[in-house]
C-alpha cells in the first residue's frame, strides 16, 4: 500500500476517460484549441475573475514560469525555507528567472513567520515577490487572514497550489479569497497530486503578466504543440467539482489516519495535520517493520532521522488507512 | 481538411489505448517506473546501442535540454539557418544553455552547406557542436554519407529528429546509421509529429552526458512526476513498429500529393519532397480559394509571400489528398 | 614597432596625468562622485542631448550591458557577421541578456547589407534591436545616410563605438548625427583603443533605459566602487577634444600607411581604409620577414590565410609608418 | 572626515606612482603582459603555492567569477546571511553561475554557525561550495581552526577576502594557512578597500579551475585589454608588503577608535572589533549631531535603526580618530 506521495497514484476515472478520447480529430496546436479555451472559462468561473491559463506538465514548471514572470533577475523572492521551490526543484526558479534570489524564511509548521519575513524584505537588495505554498509542504494551511497579512506587505504574491484543492476544502474559503482577493497575481494550480495524470495549470489573475508568461512558456518547451494532452485532463478535473471531491476525500483519509495515530503509543505526529500529508516520528525499526509488511512511505530528513512522511491521495481507501493503522499498532 | 502541421492531428489508436489505461495502479514517480524502463530497453534495441532515455512533452524541450548538455555557455552551436532551434523556439537553446550561441549556416533545400559550415567553425570563438535536423524543416533528407561528413568535422553531433521516423523510412538506413555510428551523441526522437499525443524522447548515446542531462531535465520542470503520461505513449509508439508504419504512411501521402501537384500548371514545388512536408508556390488568390473550400495549410515566409506549406500526417487519407489535388486543379 | 592593435598601446600623457592624481582625497563611491558627474556633463555637451553615462573597463562590458538592456531574453539582436559581439566576445551578449539571440547578417566590407538585414528581421521570432559597429571591425564607415537607413527599420539601435572617435573624424559628422538623431538609444563610446588606459563609456540617450542598466551594471561587477579610476580618464579624454585629436592622428597614420602600401607590388589592400585599421593581403614569407625585423601585427583568418591586419594608434609616429613601408617594400 | 567605507578613500602613494607610469610603451593586451606575469609570481610567493591570478576591478566581479567556476547552475552555495554576496551584490553570483542558489546561514557576529551550516548542507538538493568572508562584513575574524572546520565539510571553499589583508595581520596567520591549506580553492584577494584605486585579484589555487575561469573572465567583460591598468596597482600593492602595512595601520586605527568608544557612555559597540570595521549603537540625534560636524559614516539596518558603521582605512590618521572620539564624547 502506497503512502509515499500523491504523485505515485494514477488518475481519477474521469481523467482516464478524457485521455482515452483526447486524440480524436484535428485541432489547432499550441493551445489555440477549443478545449484549452473551455479550461480558461472554467477557471474564470471558479475564481470569479478573468484569468489566463497555461497548462503545464509539472508543478516545478508552473512555479518557475510564474516566479520568473513576477521578478526581475536581480530581485529577491521570499518563501518558507522548506518550500518546494527552495528544497526540491534544483534551482528551477533561479534558472527560469535568469538568476533571481530565492530567500528562505523560517517559521514553525512549514509556515512563514511574518516577523522574519518583514526582516528579510527590509534587508534584501531588491525585494520582488513572495511565494506562499498553500496547503504547505508540511500539510498545514494558511487562513484567509494569514493570506491577508501577506497582501499587507504590498509585495506581489505567488501561490504554489500543488495542493491548493486540499487547502480550499480544508479552510472552506472560496478560491478567490485564497488568491487574488488577497493579492495573489499568479497561482500554480495543482492537478497532478490530486487526480490528474500529470496536468497542472498556471492561473494568471493580472492580464499584463500573461503576455510575458506566454513567451517564457514557449521558450521553455512547456507549450505543448498537442496541448489537448493536458487540457482534456484539466477540463475533466474542473467538471462537476472533481478537484474538490478528490481533495475532500484525501483530506478525510488523512484525518482518519491522524486520529488513529494519535491513539498509538510511541508514534508521534510532528505537525498539525490540516490537509493530506502527515509527518510522524517513530523508531527506525518500527518503520522498517512496516516497510517489510508492504507499506510504502518516505523518510523526511527535514525533521530528523526518525521522521517519516505519509501522504493520502484521492484514491486512498478507508481500508488502506485502517490496515496501516493496524500495522502500526 | 487539415494540412497545417503534423501536430494538429490527434494520435494513433494504439496511443489512445495506452493513455486510457495509463492511470491504473500506483507507480514510482519521476521516471523510476517500469514503463519508462521498458521504453529505454525498446530504444536500446532500435538503436543497437546502450542508451538513456528522457521522455519530454515537446521537441523544443528535447532540443534545448540536449544542446545545453552538449555545449558550455561560451560555445557555438551550428545549425541550418532555417532550423527549428534557430527560427521557431524563441531562443530556448540560448536559454537552457545559459547563453550559448546558435550560429546559422546557409545551404540549399534546408540542408547545411559543408563549405559554409567549415568556415563558421573556423571563425567561431569556441566551436562546440552541430545540430542536424533530419528530416529537415524543408522536408528534405541527409543521407548516411552526409551524416558521415558531419562526423568528419570531429564536433559532437545532435540530431533534431522531430521527423526522424520519416527520415528512417525514406532513406532506408538503420536508426544506428543515422545517429551514433555517424557521431551523434544525443537524438531528439520525435513522436508528437508522428502519432503520439505529445511525447518525444531524448535518446542519449554517450552515457557520461546522461547524468548532467538528468539534472537539467529536473530543474527545467520537464521531469514529470507521473512520467507514465509520456512513457505509455512512447511504449506503444515503439511497439510493433508503429513509429515506422506511421511515418511510411505520411511519406506516401506526401509523395502522392507531390506527384499530383507536379501535374498542375501554375503550382510549383519549391523543394524536393523526400518526407512528409511540401512547399508550394502558388498565387495568393488560389490559396485563398482553397482555404474557403475548407482546406487548411500555412503560409511560409521563409520562401516568400506566395509560398505555402502542406504537411501530411500518420492519419491523412488518400481520399483527403485526392480531394485536395482536385481542389487545386 | 607595434601595429597589432590599438589596445597594445599605452595612454596619452593627459590620461597619465589624470591617473597620477586620481587617488587624492576621499570621494563618494560607486560613481556618486563629482568627477563622474562632470563626465556626464561633458557627454551631454558632445552629444547635444541629456545622457546617462556608465564608465566601464572594457568594450565587451559596454556592449553586453547595453544590449542586455535593449532586448528581452527571447529577442533577436542583428549585427554584422564579423562584429566584435559575434566573433570575439565569447557570447558576452548572450550571457548578459539571459539568452538573447545574436543574428549575424552578411555584407561587404564589414558593413551590414540592408536587404539581408530586412530578411533576417522578417524571419526572426522576436526582432529586438540592431547593433551597428562604427567605425566597423573592417575599418570602414557608416555614413549619416546609412545610419538613417537603420533608423528606418524602426528597431532600437545600439552603436558599438569602440572606434567611434575614428568614425566621427572620418565622416566629419556630429556625434549626435551618428547616434540619437539616427535612432541610437545606447552608444558604447570607446576610449581604450584611442588613448585611455582602459576606460570606455556607455552613453544612454533614452532615460528610461538608464535605470535598468544601472542595476545590470552593479550586478555584473562593473560598477567600480572607486569609480574615479575610470572617470578621471574619461574626463581627460573629453577635455580639449583629446578624443578627436587622437583619432584624427590615428586615421592620418592609417591613410599614410594605406597610400604607401598602394604603391607596393605584391601587397594588396583587402578593404577600403576609412579609419585606423588596414587589412592587407601578402605572402606568408613576406609577413614572416617583417616580423623578424621587429614589426608586429596580427594574421586575420576572416579574410583567409594570407591576410594580415595593421592598426595605427593615437601615438603611432610618421617615422614608424615610414619604416614599416620601407620594410614592406 | 570620512568613516563611511574603505572604498571612499583614494590610494597609497605607491599605487599613484605606479598608475602615473602605467601607460608607458606598448604591451601585449588582455593580460599577456610582463606586469601581470610578475603579479602572478608575487602571489605564488605570498601563498607559497602555484597560483593563477586574474586582476579585477571589483570584489563583486571577483566573487561572482570565482563562485560561478566552483558550482554548477544547480548547486547550492553556502554563506553567512550577511555576506556581501547575499546582501549587497544584486544577485551577481546567481547571474554569473547561471542560476545557482545562494543559501544564507545564520551565526553570531557575522560568522557562520557550524551546526546551522551542516543542517543546510544536509537539506540542499546539490551542495556545491562554501563562501567564507574573512575578515567578515561584521569586522570579525575566522581563525585557522575555524577555517579547518570549513575544510572538514569536504565542500570546496571560496574565501571572499575583500579585507583579507586585515585578517592576515589580525590573526598573524600565514596567507597559506588561511586559504589553500584549509581547503580554499579560490580567493578573492581584495586591494580596493586597502589602498589600491580599484584593483582586486582572483587567486586560484587549483589549476584545473583556472582554465574555465579564464573563459568566464573574458565573456563577462572583466578581462581588460589594457590589463596594466589593474596589474600595475597589484604589483605595487604586493611590493615591500604594502598590503600588510596598510592593513596593519587600518586595524590599529580601528582598535584606537574601539578603545576610545568603550570609554564613552551611551555609545555601545555591537560586535567585537577585530579588523577595521566598527558597528556602534547610539541615539539617532547623537549620530545626526556628528554628521553636522562633518563626520561621515553609514547607518546599518542589519543591526537595527540606531546602528551605525565606522570604517578606518589605510590612510585614516590618529588625529582623525581622536577628533571623532572627542566629537562623540
CB B8 within 8 A of CB B204: no
pLDDT at D128: 98
Q: Which residue of B has its CA nearest to C305?
A: B122
pLDDT at D329: 86
Residues in A closer than 8 angstroms to C215, CB to CB, are 72, 74, 126
Residues in A closer than 8 angstroms to C99, CB to CB, are 98
Q: Which residue of B has its CA nearest to D218?
A: B74
How far apart CA C77 and CA C60 sit, in angstroms, is: 15
Using the Cβ of B319 and the Cβ atoms of chain A, whether some distance falls under 8 Å is answered with no
Query: Which 3 state secondary structure label does DSSP give B71?
Result: coil
Interface of D with C in 54-113 (CB under 8 A): 56-62, 64-65, 89-92, 95
Using the Cβ of A197 and the Cβ atoms of chain B, whether some distance falls under 8 Å is answered with yes
Residues in A closer than 8 angstroms to B62, CB to CB, are 221
* Residue A302 pLDDT grade (very low, low, confident, very high; cuts 50, 70, 90): confident
Write out pLDDT tens, residues A156-182: 999 999 999 999 999 999 999 999 999
Q: What is the dihedral angle through the alpha carbons of D196, D201, D205, D210, rounded to the nearest 10 degrees? A: -160
How far apart CA D46 and CA D207 sit, in angstroms, is: 17
The 3-class secondary structure across chain A, one letter per residue, is: CECCCCCCCCCCHHHHHHHHHCCCCCCCCCCCCHHHHHHHHHHHHHHCCCCEEEEECCHHHHHHHHHHHHCCCCCEEEEECCCHHHHCCCCHHHHHCCCCEEEEECCHHHCCCHHHHHHHHHHCCCEEEEEEECCCCCCCCCCHHHHHHHHCCCCCEEEEECCHHHHHHHHCCCCCCCCHHHCEEEEEECCHHHCCCCCEEEEECCHHHHHHHHHHHHHCCCCCCCCHHHHHHHHHHHHHHHHHHHHHHHHHHHHHHHHHHHCCCCCEECCCCCCCEEEEECCHHHHHHHHHCCCECEECHHHCCCEEEEECCCCCCHHHHHHHHHHHC
Residues of chain C above pLDDT 70, percent: 100
pLDDT at C140: 97
Residues in D closer than 8 angstroms to B223, CB to CB, are none
Residues in D closer than 8 angstroms to B215, CB to CB, are 72, 74, 126
Contact yes or no for A95 and B220 at CB 8 A: yes
Per-residue pLDDT of chain B (329 residues; tens, 9 = 90+): 899 999 999 999 999 999 999 999 999 999 999 999 999 999 999 999 999 999 999 999 999 999 999 999 999 999 999 999 999 999 999 999 999 999 999 999 999 999 999 999 999 999 999 999 999 999 999 999 999 999 999 999 999 999 999 999 999 999 999 999 999 999 999 999 999 999 999 999 999 999 999 999 999 999 999 999 999 999 999 999 999 999 999 999 999 999 999 999 989 999 999 999 999 999 999 999 999 999 999 999 888 889 999 999 999 999 999 999 999 98
Residues in D closer than 8 angstroms to B73, CB to CB, are 98, 219
* Residue A329 pLDDT grade (very low, low, confident, very high; cuts 50, 70, 90): confident
pLDDT at C329: 86
Contact yes or no for D219 and B72 at CB 8 A: no
pLDDT at A67: 98
Average pLDDT score, chain D: 97
pLDDT at C227: 98
Which chains have 3 or more CB–CB distances shorter than 8 Å to chain C? A, B, D
Compute CA B42 distance to the chain's CA centroid, rounded to the nearest angstrom: 19
pLDDT at C302: 84
Contact yes or no for B104 and C104 at CB 8 A: yes
Q: Which of B15, B20, B198 sits opposite A224 (nearest CB)?
A: B198
List, in order, residues 6 or more apart from A115 with CB less than 8 Å away.
none
Residues in B closer than 8 angstroms to A160, CB to CB, are none
Contact yes or no for A221 and B62 at CB 8 A: yes
Interface test with chain C among D220, D298, D313, D314, by most C beta carbons within 10 Å? D220
The reply to whether ipTM tops 0.95 is yes
Q: Which of C89, C91, C124 sits opposite B100 (nearest CB)?
A: C91
| Model-wide pTM > 0.90 | yes
CB D21 within 8 A of CB D231: no
What is the H or E stretch that residue D316 is in? Answer: none
Which residue positions in chain D have pLDDT lower than 70?
Answer: none
Amino acid at each position: 500500500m502506497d503512502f509515499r506521495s500523491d504523485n505515485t497514484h494514477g488518475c481519477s476515472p474521469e481523467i482516464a476517460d478524457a485521455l482515452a478520447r483526447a486524440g480524436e480529430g484535428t485541432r489547432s496546436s499550441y493551445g489555440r484549441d477549443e478545449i484549452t479555451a473551455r479550461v480558461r472559462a472554467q477557471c474564470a468561473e471558479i475564481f470569479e475573475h478573468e484569468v489566463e491559463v497555461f497548462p503545464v506538465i509539472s508543478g516545478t514548471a508552473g512555479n518557475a514560469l510564474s516566479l520568473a514572470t513576477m521578478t526581475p533577475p536581480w530581485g529577491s523572492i521570499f518563501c518558507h525555507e522548506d518550500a518546494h521551490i527552495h528544497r526540491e526543484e534544483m534551482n528551477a526558479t533561479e534558472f527560469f528567472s535568469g538568476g533571481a534570489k530565492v530567500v528562505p524564511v523560517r517559521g514553525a509548521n512549514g509556515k512563514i513567520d511574518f516577523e522574519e519575513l518583514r526582516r528579510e524584505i527590509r534587508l534584501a537588495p531588491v525585494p520582488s515577490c513572495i511565494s506562499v505554498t498553500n496547503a504547505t509542504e508540511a500539510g498545514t494551511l494558511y487562513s484567509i487572514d494569514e493570506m491577508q497579512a501577506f497582501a499587507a506587505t504590498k509585495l506581489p504574491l505567488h501561490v504554489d497550489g500543488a495542493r491548493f484543492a486540499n487547502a480550499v476544502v480544508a479552510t472552506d474559503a472560496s478560491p478567490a479569497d485564497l488568491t487574488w482577493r488577497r493579492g495573489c497575481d499568479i497561482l500554480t494550480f495543482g492537478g497532478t497530486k490530486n487526480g490528474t495524470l500529470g496536468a497542472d495549470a498556471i492561473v494568471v489573475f493580472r492580464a499584463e503578466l500573461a503576455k510575458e508568461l506566454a513567451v517564457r512558456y514557449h521558450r521553455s518547451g512547456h507549450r505543448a504543440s498537442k496541448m489537448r494532452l493536458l487540457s482534456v485532463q484539466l477540463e475533466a478535473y474542473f467538471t462537476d467539482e472533481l478537484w474538490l471531491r478528490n481533495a475532500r476525500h484525501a483530506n478525510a483519509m488523512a484525518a482518519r489516519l491522524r486520529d488513529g495515530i494519535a491513539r498509538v503509543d510511541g508514534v508521534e505526529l510532528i505537525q498539525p495535520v490540516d490537509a493530506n500529508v502527515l509527518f510522524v516520528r517513530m523508531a527506525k525499526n518500527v518503520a522498517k517493520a512496516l516497510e517489510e509488511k508492504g507499506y510504502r512511505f518516505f523518510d523526511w530528513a527535514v525533521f530528523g532521522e526518525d521522521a517519516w512522511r505519509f501522504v493520502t491521495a484521492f484514491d486512498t481507501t478507508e481500508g488502506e488507512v485502517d490496515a496501516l493503522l493496524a500495522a502500526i499498532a
